[in-house]
Structure 1
């Protein structure tokens, strides 16, 4: 006998509790509903009181239940009848045996009539009738209580070929909707015909259901499906015979899958399904296929563990006949009003080719992802959070079980785990302990900071008045205290996790005390002044010397690592002065452009950074020749070079900084004739010029002028630009010289760098009136893997993240009206950038590319999409993906094709049931990228 315990491959979490949903994927769970509806026995029927009017039968109609013709009296006149006049028989002197007393009041109703026939010992309820006893309720067009046979009949009303008011059997939260019910409340046996219902996403209809007793129910000719149209489903599973034991098991005979009423080979000769109302563990059915490089495979098979109501665990794996395999462990957890999170660990052992062949290779890949978020209301003064994405640098490029262009193009993986604590008081103290990791997937370099401790004391105003506002320089004097401690490790991908990665670890602490104040000058100028005292500690310093015997006698600089405490102290001074100037230009009162407004924000700053030569030493490099006229080279260095916070500045600097920010707006006459105010239009946004002058420099005192700004074109489309202008000329070696470019026969400035970029996205929804325009963050597998939030590089197909399976109930039903009155939804995203470089007279476009993505819904069930671009510099098409998706009502079909890719080319085909409870019923096929290319 086959024993199946099916589980969904995607754990879900309930919203109103911290319980992770189990994988209730038992294909026949819905039979529980039917049993609960039949487990209630009716022992008696309350007879109306003597003063209740009875109805004589004048017109009879015939009803048929289970092949038995039942004559139903239909009265034409409602009148009060004496009960004694109807009963002409003598009173029986033999007392009947005591019958069981009902446990609760029986309520019954019929809109047209409730007729009690004493001769036949039956009660008839007609039209919108119902019977209520305890938690059981039966609604139907016709309900008959037969005291002779101890049976209850319930069925609908057949009027002119229209069968309406089908029986509805309700017990608690469970509901069954058959065509008719026949129940014997003495033997507690029942027959239910064409019962319909829904349970855990399944809709079902059973031709005949026979209830033998409270613990056994037999069913015949059962259809179950996730389709919304139970009368004519596009697919269903058909079971000829089934035995149902409530809350324990279901045993079925031959079960087949039908598509459009056509039987398919998909099925089982017999099966055993254990039942439980709680979450259950179960197997995850793998996908079987063939790979050209690794042979036949089993993918995404595994087991689901319902460990607790607060967390679960999914174990999955892949196996290839050439020896390659992959293992994955995924867990989701939640505690209401406390925290939520998930862990995903992936490991792959990849074998290419066959052992003994020259192209044979073997590699191992892994990736660890962990996210944890805490509800701020649970602990306002402390917070723990985690966002971890770490693993092999080649994982997203070489993984055998995912096709995700956006993830494959990720160059940097970042991870952070932090705990922060706030100590209330005056002043307030904030502390944070964190782990930070930055991994470059191209160079395979890893920078790990473990731990990173920061603490800061809130701003203190020592001279502020106890009451009233702060005025003047003295009142606004404030200070803070910040401290940062780090243990920084720099290593590579291959050495991570070994003891050697700690050999070059650096430990340092930095203390900062900033003191500042602000005040007004001449009422219109805002001035600030600040100074910062910094003290840096280091447990490792580096001494340098020249050793003539180093490098096999050729000489060289030797750096000695000195372990021990050392420190240095620095300070600086800054001041700034700024204001805001408004100017309005009246153009025309009657023209389209009425006014132009210009807002300028000029500012000037001055800063002093003393030189700290006391922290510098020197060594001599002897000349390579014996010529006495050649002197030795003197090299100055600081023992704090290459430490965490670096060395203090050796050179005194005194700089003046200048900037000017501009905004241009226009008041334009509105097209709406009822508008009383003109419309404001932004012409130029944040046009900023900035530069500086080095007062302590001996040459090249002016800094290049930086220009940046944005030009709004249409809503949601801004052209962003930036440029660097150099006032100095170049010599013949393309080096900057202390000569202005105008003196060298050139213009006032040289354009050395420039960039223009724009991003634009719009859709058919932009032309509709929106009630809510909230920005919804894209939270998919590509973003979690470190990729972009949009689909400019395509959409991902990570099988094991559950994104392919969408519940059919969450989608809107397409009606005939939608087919004829249909607007084609679409969206388009554009990203263009061009960079110009002329630092050393290159005069070239260093990069220029245009990328786009678009999705189009051709019909209510057809969607197509494309993501691509063009690199004008390299004259080639960038990563390109075509997407096709077909909604097959209860099914979904998709095909993603990447014919051109910077990292890989591939395709993926999928067709399967959308409902997550039947996610294992699918077919998917792919062509993986050739890693050798």
Structure 2
């Protein structure tokens, strides 16, 4: 015992001695046992290695155990340790450790000088590079390069703590740990290992080097409980760090009950946290119309750091198939994009008993491309694309996707903008729209927009003081050039395509003058010149022989011009009504924003209008010969009159009963908006010979009780109509019968949502599905579509119930195609979404839409979900739609085991 030196870490001598020996110490893990078999495994020799006499090398001393002071170093050099030769450095052999180790112990450190061993007691902790080791006791033997770590038991014999080792996202906890820092060999007992979502428990783990290890009696799971709900058992397992785990015969266990009858001869478990290429496993499905099938069979391929590709295929027994190739590319701080190409060969069982063919076949395709460039890549320019182009039948024949089955409109846009020193801005756009109902395709190839920032030509270069009034005259410019092609995808022909080519241009030159405010009144004079170019002229004439209107088109270059002059006046008026001190309502505030303007524009386009006979009775309409172009014609007639409008805001201030604070002795209050905005706008033309009063545009919007959002708008025509619905020059005004004009169009929208308080008390109002910031908008859209199509897999059990409703109604009076009169077109729809918990672990919900106008349920998706901690049972049912289907899925929540699931899918083609 005389050769043992037990010191307190807090003493100066202990600090120096511990620091001197720490440079010789350990890399990572340790365990118990010091027999010859133990050393034979770690060192590869049958004998315990002796002290080495290699030529020493010098490294700097650095440790958290003690300070590096001169007195302590002198004390250590007085002993017979031949490794130390200088006061300011430590000499060690060339085969020692390659990095400095930092250590700490709450109790003490013990140094055995003759045996070259070091001990740390009491919550010992060491760190080297990215590896840290924590244990009750840590022992390092410099002769054998073996480090050992032990746990601690309490007075009753129960385990109080276990050694823990952490390296990156790899975490281990064992009864004992031992490792040879030089060879990397090691052994641990009763080890719990975690890497990412994976949990491995093994009775013994032997490391043969720093990258590979063998486990005996191992259990593999993604459940984070001490006694997991499920696991995979195996007698032996090989682990390759950050790559994979390979097992022998493996069988599952549920609630610690083994199921040996269900086993696999071997298992391969991925352990690579980085992205890598691999096979994507499919799911099984069954459909009366498509047969048996495999969906999602594919392969993920990484093409380097910036590009990857995912290929998936659906295969059905009746001969149908679907192939999808999706590639994502990204270069940080430059651009990101996504290209998705899908080919679909639909072969379904024919429902028509009179059909000659047993199957109905349809081929379709879809191309989606999105691209965005980082604004920092090339300041002053931007390029973005969002292309969705394909067959009009693609969405309709897509299986098990009720949301896309009802998507009848496709649109695309490619945009490039360029800024010229902040004075001009140029943008070029290519747009596409496609309707799957009438199968009409419109292409704009391309559209140019040029805008000039307002210039002040009379303003001096070196402005001093307040300028003259004419120096505030500003001139701007905006113009666009449009090319458009329209065709039906069922009758595509290049010659017909050229016949439908149209072009047009529009130029606008506004002239403004900034005048100083006259107190609360603001004056804004304006002058504007506008010119429009057309590529064709459309002349329509009544044909007495066919009893219809014929159209004759003449190609060429045609122009229209228009000018306007005006002076605008605007102000704001406030009014407040204050209640008594006993009232909960403090005050009601009304803000009015009236606007008034005098405008004049001459009639430069009268020669473009003519009377068109539309029926045998001789009725006529005023039409323009430029109607039907991509840019519409100017309105006919001279205007000299006034335009007026009024916008209102109504809010009140109430006492806040829930507030606990006061301000300067006054009770806290809060503002409540009663009506966020309501008003009207119209005009009166003094120079018109009839219909001087223009229609009134009415609007209102508000949020009631912070829950119900309401917005409404209407168009009020002040003139009466005849028996055929044509306007007559007679004001409709009869207050006794509540007839004040005619509502010719309008719309109203209401939406609300309710939810219960979360179980954990946290505010989940802004909780959303996490989205990768580097995902393209097209990827985000497809992700949201997947969530809507599979709501049971994204259920939030923290909120017991949620309900959201929205309703919209719109109507308008339109002229019939045969000019025989007017008809009212109405559309009304209701959408709903909600879920509620039957029990804390069971939840049901539904989402859908109801067409109020046609009194039919357009779409309905319901789900049932069961929370099972590390597993989830989800049932999705779509009883309404083109394809009625249901899906039952029982799968782990862990993303690494997403393909380990039981899935059952059936779909049926609707009879209607």
State the partner residue of 2:894: 915
1:893 maps to 2:873: yes
Other structure's SS at 1:474 match: helix
Among 288, 291, 294, the alignment partner of 1:298 is 294
Task: Note the C-alpha offset of 1:431.
Answer: 1.1
Task: Note the C-alpha offset of 1:362.
Answer: 1.1
Task: Note the C-alpha offset of 1:309.
Answer: 1.0
Name the stretch that deviates more: 360-369 or 865-874: 865-874
Other structure's SS at 1:643 match: coil
* Contact 1:717–1:759 under 8 Å retained in 2: yes
Give the Cα separation in 2 of the matches to 1:695 and 1:520.
29
* Contact 1:196–1:204 under 8 Å retained in 2: yes
CA separation of 1:606 and 1:496: change in aligned 2, threshold 3 A? farther
Cα offsets for 1:377-406 (capped at 9, x unmatched): 444412222233333334333202x4243x
1:661 maps to 2:636: no
Among 410, 417, 422, the alignment partner of 1:413 is 410
Give the Cα separation in 2 of the matches to 1:185 and 1:519.
83
Among 333, 337, 341, the alignment partner of 2:333 is 337
State the partner residue of 2:362: 363
Name the stretch that deviates more: 363-372 or 513-522: 513-522
State the partner residue of 2:89: none
CA separation of 1:278 and 1:864: change in aligned 2, threshold 3 A? closer
CA separation of 1:623 and 1:145: change in aligned 2, threshold 3 A? closer
State the partner residue of 2:701: 710
* Contact 2:412–2:431 under 8 Å retained in 1: yes
Give the Cα separation in 1 of the matches to 2:649 and 2:17.
86
CA separation of 1:257 and 1:346: change in aligned 2, threshold 3 A? farther
Among 348, 355, 369, the alignment partner of 1:352 is 348
Give the Cα separation in 2 of the matches to 1:545 and 1:735.
20
Other structure's SS at 1:917 match: helix
State the partner residue of 1:738: 729
State the partner residue of 2:435: 440
* Contact 2:402–2:878 under 8 Å retained in 1: no
* Contact 1:481–1:514 under 8 Å retained in 2: yes
CA separation of 1:785 and 1:392: change in aligned 2, threshold 3 A? farther
Q: How does 1:433-472 map to 2 (within 5 A)?
A: 433-464=428-459, 466-467=462-463
Name the stretch that deviates more: 612-621 or 162-171: 612-621
1:694 maps to 2:685: yes
1:559 maps to 2:552: yes
State the partner residue of 1:880: 860
The alignment's TM-score, normalised by the length of structure 1, stands at: 0.74
Other structure's SS at 1:486 match: strand
Q: How does 1:167-186 map to 2 (within 5 A)?
A: 167-169=163-165, 174-183=170-179
* Contact 1:404–1:782 under 8 Å retained in 2: no
Other structure's SS at 1:268 match: coil
State the partner residue of 1:102: 96
* Contact 1:751–1:838 under 8 Å retained in 2: no
Task: Note the C-alpha offset of 1:683.
Answer: 3.5
Give the Cα separation in 1 of the matches to 2:457 and 2:496.
50
Give the Cα separation in 2 of the matches to 1:215 and 1:662.
72
Task: Note the C-alpha offset of 1:418.
Answer: 0.8
Give the Cα separation in 1 of the matches to 2:879 and 2:187.
60
Name the stretch that deviates more: 656-665 or 769-778: 769-778
Among 599, 604, 608, the alignment partner of 2:596 is 604
Cα offsets for 1:817-862 (capped at 9, x unmatched): xxxxxx8543322223456789999999956655432233556544
* Contact 1:752–1:839 under 8 Å retained in 2: no
Among 799, 802, 821, the alignment partner of 1:827 is 802
Task: Note the C-alpha offset of 1:305.
Answer: 0.6
**Matched length:** 821
Task: Note the C-alpha offset of 1:293.
Answer: 1.6
For structure 1, the residue ranges without an aligned partner over 5 or more in a row are 1-46, 53-61, 71-81, 88-97, 625-629, 815-822
* Contact 1:805–1:916 under 8 Å retained in 2: no
Task: Note the C-alpha offset of 1:268.
Answer: 2.9
1:853 maps to 2:833: yes
CA separation of 1:141 and 1:347: change in aligned 2, threshold 3 A? same
Task: Note the C-alpha offset of 1:917.
Answer: 1.8
Name the stretch that deviates more: 527-536 or 413-422: 527-536
Task: Note the C-alpha offset of 1:193.
Answer: 2.0
Task: Note the C-alpha offset of 1:458.
Answer: 0.4
Among 319, 344, 351, the alignment partner of 1:323 is 319
1:760 maps to 2:752: yes
* Contact 1:464–1:470 under 8 Å retained in 2: no
State the partner residue of 2:236: 241
Name the stretch that deviates more: 639-648 or 494-503: 494-503
* Contact 2:371–2:776 under 8 Å retained in 1: no
Other structure's SS at 1:519 match: coil
Cα offsets for 1:704-724 (capped at 9, x unmatched): 333322355312424434444
CA separation of 1:744 and 1:189: change in aligned 2, threshold 3 A? closer
* Contact 2:134–2:165 under 8 Å retained in 1: yes
* Contact 1:605–1:656 under 8 Å retained in 2: yes
State the partner residue of 1:269: 265
* Contact 1:409–1:787 under 8 Å retained in 2: no
Task: Note the C-alpha offset of 1:189.
Answer: 4.9
Give the Cα separation in 2 of the matches to 1:458 and 1:339.
29
* Contact 1:805–1:914 under 8 Å retained in 2: no
Task: Note the C-alpha offset of 1:227.
Answer: 1.5
Cα offsets for 1:698-752 (capped at 9, x unmatched): 3333233333223553124244344444433344444433233347985451453
Give the Cα separation in 2 of the matches to 1:790 and 1:215.
40
Name the stretch that deviates more: 508-517 or 665-674: 665-674
Q: How does 1:119-158 map to 2 (within 5 A)?
A: 126-129=121-124, 138-143=133-138, 153-158=148-153
Cα offsets for 1:23-68 (capped at 9, x unmatched): xxxxxxxxxxxxxxxxxxxxxxxx979999xxxxxxxxx9879999
Other structure's SS at 1:308 match: coil
CA separation of 1:340 and 1:762: change in aligned 2, threshold 3 A? farther
State the partner residue of 2:195: 199
State the partner residue of 1:57: none
Task: Note the C-alpha offset of 1:349.
Answer: 0.9
Other structure's SS at 1:796 match: helix
Task: Note the C-alpha offset of 1:225.
Answer: 1.6
CA separation of 1:642 and 1:458: change in aligned 2, threshold 3 A? same
Q: How does 1:41-60 map to 2 (within 5 A)?
A: none
Other structure's SS at 2:396 match: helix
CA separation of 1:659 and 1:359: change in aligned 2, threshold 3 A? farther
Cα offsets for 1:170-217 (capped at 9, x unmatched): 567755433223556798754332222222431212222234467764
